[in-house]
Chain A
Amino acid sequence: MNTPFRAHGHGHVDRDTTLSFTFDGITHTGHPGDTLASALLANGVHRVAGSIKYGRPRGVLAAGAEEPNALVQIEAPFPEPMLTATTVELYDGLVARGLSGQGRLSSRPDPARYDTMHAHCDLLVVGAGPAGLATTLAAARAGARVILIDELPRPGGSLLGGQELLDGAPATVWADGVVAELDAHADVQVLRRTTAFGHYDDGLVLALEKRTDHLGATAPAHISRQRVWRIRAKQVVYATGAYERPVAFDNNDRPGIMLAGSARTYLNRFGVLPGRRAVVFTTNDSAYPAALELADAGIRIAAVIDAREEVPEHWRAACHERGIGIRAGHVVTGTSGVERVTRAHVAAFGRGRLGERQGIGCDLLLVSGGWNPAVALFSQARGALRYDTGIGAFVPAHALDGVRTAGSASGTFTLAGALADGVDAARRALSAIGRTCRTTALPSPAPLPDAAPAHVLWRVPSPQDDQDGAKQFVDLQRDALVSDVLRATGAGLRSVEHVKRYTTIGTAHDQGRTSGVMTSGIVAEALGVDVADLGTTRSRPPALPVAFAALAGRNRGELFDPIRVTALHPWHVEHGARFEDVGQWKRPWYYPRADETMDEAVLRECRAARTGVAMMDGSTLGKINVQGPDAGVLLDRLYTNMMSTLKVGRIRYGVMCGVDGMAIDDGTVIRVAEREFLLTTTTGNAAKVLAWMEEWLQTEWPDLRVHLTSVTEHWVTIPLVGPRSRDVLALVAPGLDVGKDAFPFMSWRDATVAGVAARVCRISFSGELAYEINVPAWDGITVWKALHTAGGAFGITPYGTETMHVLRAEKAYPIIGQDTDGTVTPQDLGMSWVVSKKKPDFVGKRSFTRAENRRGDRKQLVGLLPADERVLLPEGAQIIATSEIPAPPVPMLGHITSSYRSDALRRTFALALVRSGTQRIGETLYVPLDGRTVPVTVTEPVLFDKEGTRRDG
């Protein structure tokens, strides 16, 4: 099936294959190699969408990533918001619609996969146009490791859109030959459909490869849809080409108004005629090849309007040959038409004045206001830009050590120049990393006369007297006008950044590729300053919009953050545990039986621990092995209490403080040998404590002979708790004397437990008789099961973190991070006993004597008993002094840090940090709750077994 606007004998699309797609509800056809834009134009569809602010019809301005107008929403195979029709490769079954500003996200989950690749190279070349191909070829022949990336499916860049000859053959033949040679190099990688979007430090370039987008619904599910490449390059050459810019005139936004070079691309790359009768408006030579090639392909060129007084003779002659009239010293002042341009208004323009206007009928108005080198990535790399008055654009001022540009990205716009510049860039880049690059023979383009100077023209004066009435668009996507720019300067704005924010120019997803320099030019004219002094707005990553999902890559779901589980985890799952996230760990929270609520389960688990025997998985506790002759010295400096005096075989509880004197962690320290300690940390702080200790050891006391090793995951740790724990342990460790005196509190023994070599500690986090059995993680499940079996006769009960919290709270053992918040000292916790008076210094000690720490009315940890013993106070609730809640701000005395139902106390209770808490013991305070207050009695924090009679069984 043919379409009315296909040009025979032109284009690189595969006409043997027909693709069907739907746009705005109408089904059309196209071919592989088309973009959505080229396929629409081939079908004569020019109106793509309405504009965002004024709702005006808009068409296709450009043929690539600079497109500001032709925004589309993809609806099928999966919705994707706001793409440019000029960069969507056509596929069968594509459903899209034109977009007026706001895209739509799918409410369904995206089924596609995304991933990331790392790559390293000597030289990264971005852009496979003539300059980039020349660079890559020269570097490849020099044996360098090169990566060439290009956004198109087929290398060639601008060569695909022109009709240049190289050595007498179409230039694309040369490009294909180069690519074939590059593909044969083992150290050269050519990435197609890949766009560089970010340049970061040390040669890190981010690029997005679209791997399956062009396959539509037939994309294989196992291949990632898009891939982010993280390329670390010693040298980078940006051969990114240039973007043509328009000129502002009245109603310069209608469908059918197109950049001249883009029209040329539609003809030559896609075999599409973007109209039947064209007017060409230019300020420079580059529109002439477009006019001539389009004329040769059958488009009637009604006139070439050249703003310059002088038009080079060879262009005059070539136009004359084809019957094309040239109007030098003329401009387009405006257009007619609604859904499509129907007429260009033309007038002579000299010395700032417009002559008589005349209309020329057309359905296509091609515009060239000159070319802006594509320097966004070079600018991201912090390459300095220089304003080139000759071309009216910003060009790289000079290469950086590892980053340079080549070809038209450098402002070199001729084909011969681009090729030579490309080879030169390769030579310089390789030289910078100590490699040589031999001369590469280059093909010769057809000789071209010297280009005539361009006329730098930002806007054509509006023939309408009232400036506000004229619609001269600067940023088509943002619907921002010349009059908006002038209003901004009139409002007092002097910086282009301010003008950008006032007008929103350049904030749309094309980042002002066609509007940025024009804005600087218009602002400079309005303020009477040089564009060079004014500068332009800053390029920011990403250079093209990148899907969130592509950036997230594989780091989603369970790969978002590692899940850590203990060696006993499968047992907990089998036995119905509910889990709590503690840091990255999954910890059993409680083990509900059939119909139990959480409260019921926890009360049952508590009862077992207080009256029989219970066991838990404590393996997540951080464990740090401290070895060396000075191990004791290090621990003395980091813990508030003395550790060096601990005897081998004994255990001590310890608290660490920050330099500010606030408690940061606690745990037990056991002395394994004269020169070896093993300490435990809280689950969440294990890594932080190790890092803290390493920092002091390495940076402050490197003379200490100590080694620190994390052994958290080497051990399975099983607290065995309750009055019957001794009986159970005796059953599984027959060789261990578990007698009270033989194995006293706060000591440890090596023993064989369930046939496994174990270290058994007699410590308790519940106040009950308890043992902590440590075995190599590999044997953990054996020992756990043996304990569970042996304890069966005593009703042994596995318990989770919730029960652990209740048991310890009944004994007022604080949880760092729950009962503390980084503002609490050991003294505030009522633990002055853990703060050494003998040691001359330890980390945090000096801060204890600061003014704020000496205040008597600090917040201190106390117990709270609600008057109504059934009321469970919410953790986090605040505490006030009065039974009535006064008007805000209400003076608050503190807050509840822990609150539980206690089986042992047969009532609810809480721990709280209360201002002057220890002096308030016995007082009644109030907890505001849902607009009323709950009276509570302040108590000593320890509420159960104050005498500590239970720990020996």
Chain B
Amino acid sequence: MQLIACPWCGEREENEFHYGGQAHVAYPQDPYALDDEQWAEYVFFRDNTKGPFAERWVHAAGCRRWFNALRDTVTHEFLAVYDVRAKHPPTTSAAPAAPRRKDQEASR
């Protein structure tokens, strides 16, 4: 169980939070301008990035506020948390330079 830094409450246990999937997927400006395939992209397709991933979280058992996070899906480490209204994730230079956690494959 990780500690997740809620932007409003500070570090709290992971089980206070709910996951919200990929961030920066805006509701289409005009859904009716999209064909079915483009609409399906919005409804069903989300990035499944291996590595740093901009995603949404909500502090469900706390302040109930949504926020965005940049998290490494391999190490699970949170690289940054930021405002849900931001248009883009923070640049990597704003995030810690190197992930602290290295996944070690002892079997190799």
CB neighbours (8 Å) of B53 from chain A are none
Q: State whether A384 and B104 are in contact (beta carbons under 8 Å apart), knowing that A660-B43, A700-B26 are contacts in the complex.
A: yes
A201 near B43: Cβ-Cβ < 8 Å: no
Nearest CB to that of B77 among chain A residues?
A201
> Given contacts A200-B1, A204-B1, A660-B43, are A535 and B107 in contact (CB under 8 A)?
yes
Nearest residue (CB) in A for B100 is A401
A940 to chain B: which residues have CB within 8 Å? Answer: none
B65 & A496 in contact (Cβ 8 Å cutoff): no
Measured as residues with beta carbon below 8 angstroms from the partner, the interface class of chain B is: 35 or more
Q: Tell me if B1 and A535 are in contact (CB < 8 A).
A: no
Given A660-B43, A846-B39, A847-B39, is A382 in contact with B58 using a C-beta cutoff of 8 Å? no
Q: A846-B32, A846-B39 are in contact. Are A232 and B106 (CB under 8 A)?
A: no
A384 and B107 contacting across the interface, CB-CB below 8 Å: no
Contact code string B1-22 (vs A, CB < 8 Å = 1, else 0)? 1110000000000000010100
| Chain B min CB distance to A155 (Å) | 29
Per DSSP, chain B at the interface is loop
Contact among B1, B56, B105 with A201 in the assembled complex (CB-CB below 8 Å): B1
Name B84's contact: one of A382, A535, A702 (CB within 8 Å).
A702
A539 and B1 contact, CB distance less than 8 A: no
Binary contact readout B48-90 vs A (1 if CB under 8 angstroms, 0 otherwise): 0000000010101000111000000000110000001100000
- Answer whether A385 and B106 are a contact pair too, CB < 8 Å, given A201-B1, A660-B43, A691-B58: yes
Residue from B2, B3, B103, B106 in contact with A536 in the complex, judged by beta carbons closer than 8 Å: B106
Q: B20: which A residues are within 8 A, CB to CB?
A: 695, 699
- A401 partner residues in chain B, CB cutoff 8 A: 100
**Min CB distance, A535 to chain B, in Å?**
6
Q: Is the CB of A702 within 8 A of B1?
A: no
A845 on interface, CB distance cutoff 8 Å: yes
Q: What 1/0 flags go to A837-852 for Cβ under 8 Å of B? A: 0000100011101110
- For residue A852, give the distance in angstroms from its CB to the closest CB of chain B: 10
Whole-angstrom distance between the alpha carbons of A702 and B106 in the complex? Answer: 46
Separation of A401 and B105 alpha carbons in the complex (Å):
18
Given the known interface contacts A497-B107, A535-B107, the answer about A694 and B58 at a Cβ–Cβ threshold of 8 Å is yes
Is the CB–CB distance between A698 and B65 below 8 Å?
yes
Evaluate contact between A699 and B84: CB separation under 8 angstroms: yes
For residue A456, CB closer than 8 A to chain B, the reply is no
Q: Is the CB of B107 within 8 A of A201?
A: no
Residue A316 at the chain B interface, CB threshold 8 Å: no
Q: Are A847's CB and B43's CB within 8 A?
A: yes
B95 proximal to A (CB < 8 A): no
Closest residue to A383 on the B side, CB-wise? B104
A538 near B: Cβ within 8 Å?
Answer: yes
CB distance from A119 to the nearest CB of B (A): 13
The chain B residue with its CB closest to the CB of A202 is B3
Q: Cα distance A931–B50 when bound, in Å?
A: 52
Query: Which residues of the partner chain A approach B1 to less than 8 Å between Cβ atoms?
Result: 200-202, 204
Q: Interface code A375-415, partner B: CB below 8 Å = 1, 0 otherwise?
A: 00001001111000000000000001100000000000000
Mask: chain A, 670-711; 1 = CB below 8 Å from B; 0 = not: 000000000000000000000100110011101000000000
Say which residue of A400, A539, A659, A695 sits within 8 Å of B58 (CB atoms): A695
Q: Which of A384, A537, A850 contacts B39 (CB 8 A)?
A: A850
Which listed residue (A496, A660, A846) contacts B34, Cβ 8 A?
A: A846
A535 B106 Cβ-Cβ under 8 A: yes
Contact, CB under 8 Å: B103 / A496: no
Chain B residues contacting A846 (CB-CB under 8 Å) are: 31-32, 34, 39
What DSSP secondary structure best describes chain A's contact surface?
Answer: mixed
Nearest chain B residue, comparing its CB with the CB of A203:
B3
Are B34 and A698 neighbours in the complex by a CB distance under 8 Å? no
| A851 CB contacts on chain B under 8 angstroms | 36
Does A504 sit at the interface, judged by CB under 8 A? no
Given A497-B107, A539-B106, A850-B36, do A694 and B64 touch, yes or no (CB 8 Å)? yes
Q: How far is the CB of A201 from chain B (nearest CB, A)?
A: 4
With an 8 A cutoff between CB atoms, is A495 at the interface? yes
A847–B28 CA distance with the chains assembled, in angstroms: 13
CB-nearest residue of chain A relative to B32? Answer: A846
Give the complex CA separation of A702 and B87 in angstroms: 13
Out of B34, B66, B107, name the residue touching A537 (CB < 8 Å): B107
Min Cβ gap A398→B in Å is 10
Q: CB distance A379 to B76 under 8 Å?
A: no
Bound together, the chains give a CA A699 to CA B69 distance in angstroms of 13
Nearest-CB distance from B44 to chain A (Å)? 8
Q: How far is the CA of A400 from the CA of B39 in the complex (A)?
A: 46
Nearest-neighbor residue (CB-CB) of A497 within chain B: B107
A694 pairs with B39, CB closer than 8 A:
no
Report the Cα distance A449→B19, complex, angstroms.
Answer: 59
The reply to whether the CB of B27 lies closer than 8 angstroms to some CB of chain A is yes
* Bound form: Cα–Cα A538–B106 in Å: 6
Nearest CB of B to A718, in Å: 29
Partner of A202, one of B2, B32, B104: B2
A556: min CB distance to chain B, Å: 18
Determine the distance from Cα of A384 to Cα of B105 in the docked complex, in whole angstroms.
8
Bound-complex Cα distance A537 to B105 (A):
9
| Interchain CA distance A696-B105 in the complex, whole Å | 40
One digit per residue, 1 when the CB lies within 8 angstroms of any chain B CB and 0 when it does not, for chain A 813-852 equals 0000000000000000000000000000100011101110
A846, B42: Cα distance in complex, Å: 11
The reply to whether A201 and B66 form a contact with Cβ atoms under 8 Å apart is no
B44 closest partner in A (C-beta) = A660
CA distance A204 to B105 in the complex (A): 21
A691-B60, A841-B31, A845-B31 known; A702 vs B85 contact (CB < 8 Å):
yes
Residues of B contacting A200 in the complex (Cβ-Cβ under 8 angstroms): 1-2
Contact in complex: A698, B66 (CB < 8 Å): yes
A383, B49: Cα distance in complex, Å:
24
B58 CB to nearest chain A CB (Å): 7
Q: B residues within 8 A CB of A845?
A: 31
**Within the assembled complex, what's the spacing in Å between the Cα atoms of A24 and B56?**
59
A691 engages B18 (CB within 8 Å): yes
A691 to B104, CA, bound (A): 37
* B37 nearest CB across to chain A (Å): 10
Contacts of B105 in A (CB 8 A): 538
A698: contacting residue among B31, B36, B84, CB under 8 A? B84
> Shortest beta-carbon distance, B9 to chain A, in Å?
15
Q: Supply 15 A–B pairs (Cβ within 8 Å), ascending by A.
A: A202-B3, A204-B2, A496-B107, A535-B106, A535-B107, A536-B107, A691-B60, A698-B65, A699-B20, A700-B26, A702-B84, A846-B32, A846-B34, A850-B36, A851-B36
Q: Which residues of B contact A (CB under 8 A)?
A: 1-3, 18, 20, 26-27, 31-32, 34, 36, 39-40, 42-44, 56, 58, 60, 64-66, 76-77, 84-85, 100-108
A-B residue pairs, 4 tightest by C-beta: A846-B31, A698-B66, A202-B3, A201-B2
- Knowing that A535-B107, A850-B39 touch, tell me 13 more A-B residue pairs with CB under 8 angstroms: A201-B2, A201-B3, A202-B3, A382-B102, A384-B102, A536-B107, A537-B107, A538-B105, A659-B43, A691-B60, A695-B58, A699-B84, A700-B27
